[in-house]
Amino acid sequence: MKPEEMAELFGRLADDKKAGDIVVMNLEGLTDIADYFVITSGTSERHVRTIADGIREGVKEKKIRPAVTEGYNQGRWVILDFQSVIVHIFLGPLRELYDLESLWIEAKKYRIKQENKDIEVGDE
């Protein structure tokens, strides 16, 4: 599966668990960390873990597993590292504090809208 397809899938799976403000960032050519970030928010520590569980369970049958999972037990900022795509699931206030979206301001970004499952493309 291509990185852009994985990022889209992870965003949809996060949306299935009612994740908030899902942003996909295309980092190709901007950093060696990953090709894409998927950044989203949960409303509580339990909700953050539920989103992470939903993503991991949703890709299990495709035999896609994160190489690394960080922060799961605390549930404040969970990182699922799929190598070419890294998913960041934040507790709302921490997302605002770390503001990853502003670190790569030149990255192309789009949001996955929860209301109608559409994708909004554009520069944020």
78-95: b (≥16 Cβ within 10 Å) or e: bbbbbebbbbbbbbeeeb
Dist. CA 118–CA 103, nearest whole Å? 25
In the chain, where are the structural domains located? 3-119
Q: What are phi and psi of 59, to 5 degrees?
A: -110, 0
Taken as a whole, the chain contains a residue count of 124
CATH T-level topology, domain 3-119: Beta Polymerase; domain 2 (3.30.460)
Write out the DSSP string of 26-62.
Answer: E-TTT-SS-SEEEEEEESSHHHHHHHHHHHHHHHHTT
Q: What are the pLDDT tens digits along the chain (124 aa)? A: 999 999 999 999 999 999 999 999 999 999 999 999 999 999 999 999 999 999 999 999 899 999 999 999 999 999 999 999 999 999 989 999 999 999 988 999 999 876 545 544 454 4
Helix axes 3-16, 45-60, angle to 10 degrees: 130
| CA gap 83, 36 in Å, rounded | 9
